[in-house]
Amino acid sequence: MPERVAYFGPAGTFTEEAALRYAPQGELVPCPTIAAVAAAVVAGEAQKGVVPIENSLEGSVTDTLDLLIHQSNLFIQLELVLPIVHCLMVRPAAAQKDIEVIYSHTQALGQCREYLEEHFPRATLVASLSTAAAAEQVRKSDHPTAAAIGTARAAELYGLSVLSRGIQDNPANVTRFVVLAHTDHPPTGDDKTSLCFSFGNDRPGLLYAALGEFARRSINLAKVESRPTKQSLGEYIFLIDLHGHRDDPGIKEAIQMLRAQASVLKIFGSYPRYAASNG
């Protein structure tokens, strides 16, 4: 029986592309939101879930971070990194000069900001639930002035014509996706660990001391950022990606020391570091 893999859908999104990359023989289950992907895995409707977590141009996907912090006890089991190639698509026979409204996901609109400002400074930009949903909106529209930004596959699925390819502002545009599961990954020797922590009482030097636990053990921090706790203005949760597995002796010791300082500490998981050769 093929593995059931939930993903932030519908079909034609970049997340579907990531899910296909992860499980080419799997049974893909589209979900309307990132939270719904996690819910499908928790309920046993799927064994794994694929969601976006970070884009090289627009930064972190906050819905995924908030899910990991507040709403789910699932683990990150794997990461994938995919190049993002955005296409401008319209109904057949529509011309670029006629475009007055452009639909897409907010991330896609942001990733094509310079292109849109140069070519469509007067167009109305409308946020959609996904890039595929944007393509569907254009297909159902009776107006030839509508366009969408999304994948070439979405254009095929919804019978649209691609006017321009590769309209993202940066050719190095990539998105990092993660596979959510009930367990994380055993050590491979080339791993990454993601976690978050916060402090109950603020005082000078708290964050410095916390990060120092990793520096003293020569543990490389790949990313450090913060998110509001959603409990009080000015209170933050800190998120870290570090090189190594949570079962590595040095990392285990650093996390233990950090746990003693923090009021909250949650490990999102340890998993193999992405490399183009194994992705």
Asked if 143 contacts 124 with a C-beta cutoff of 8 angstroms, the reply is no
Whether the predicted pLDDT of 189 surpasses 90: yes
What's the pLDDT band for 279 if we cut at 50, 70, 90?
Answer: very low
Q: Quick one: three-class SS letters along the chain?
A: CCCEEEEECCCCCHHHHHHHHHCCCCEEEEECCHHHHHHHHHCCCCCEEEEEEEECCCEECHHHHHHHHHHCCCEEEEEEEEECCCEEEECCCCCHHHCCEEEECHHHHHHCHHHHHHHCCCCEEEECCCHHHHHHHHHHCCCCCEEEEECHHHHHHCCCEEEEECCCCCCCCEEEEEEEECCCCCCCCCEEEEEEEECCCCCCCHHHHHHHHHHCCCCCEEEEEEEECCCCCCCEEEEEEEECCCCCHHHHHHHHHHHHHCCEEEEEEEEECCCCCCC
Distance, CA of 89 to chain centre: 23
Average pLDDT over residues 46-57: 94
pLDDT of residue 202: 77
Q: Is 106 a catalytic residue?
A: no
How far apart are alpha carbons 123 and 163 in whole angstroms? 16
Average pLDDT over residues 87-98: 91
Average pLDDT over residues 34-53: 97
Whether the predicted pLDDT of 82 surpasses 80: yes
- Give the active site residue among 64, 175, 197, 268: 175
pLDDT of residue 276: 65
pLDDT tens for residues 98-149?
899 999 999 899 999 999 999 999 999 999 988 999 999 999 987 779 999 9
What's the pLDDT band for 277 if we cut at 50, 70, 90?
Answer: low
pLDDT tens for residues 193-251?
999 999 988 788 889 999 999 999 999 999 999 999 888 887 899 999 999 999 999 99
Buried b / exposed e over 26-35, threshold 16 CB at 10 Å, is: bebbbbeebb
Asked if 243 contacts 215 with a C-beta cutoff of 8 angstroms, the reply is no
From the number of C-beta atoms within 10 Å of its C-beta (0-12, 13-18, 19+), residue 81 rates as middle
Q: Is 177 a catalytic residue?
A: yes
Mean pLDDT of the chain, nearest integer: 93
How far apart are alpha carbons 133 and 108 in whole angstroms? 12
- Give the active site residue among 75, 177, 214, 238: 177
| Domains, the chain, with CATH or none | 4-83+173-181 (3.40.190.10), 87-165 (3.40.190.10), 191-272 (3.30.70.260)
Whether the predicted pLDDT of 4 surpasses 60: yes
Whether the predicted pLDDT of 39 surpasses 60: yes
How far apart are alpha carbons 74 and 91 in whole angstroms? 40
Residue written as tokens 């979405």?
Answer: 154
For the chain, percent of residues with pLDDT exceeding 90: 77
pLDDT of residue 44: 96
Whether the predicted pLDDT of 278 surpasses 70: no
Q: pTM of the full predicted structure?
A: 0.85
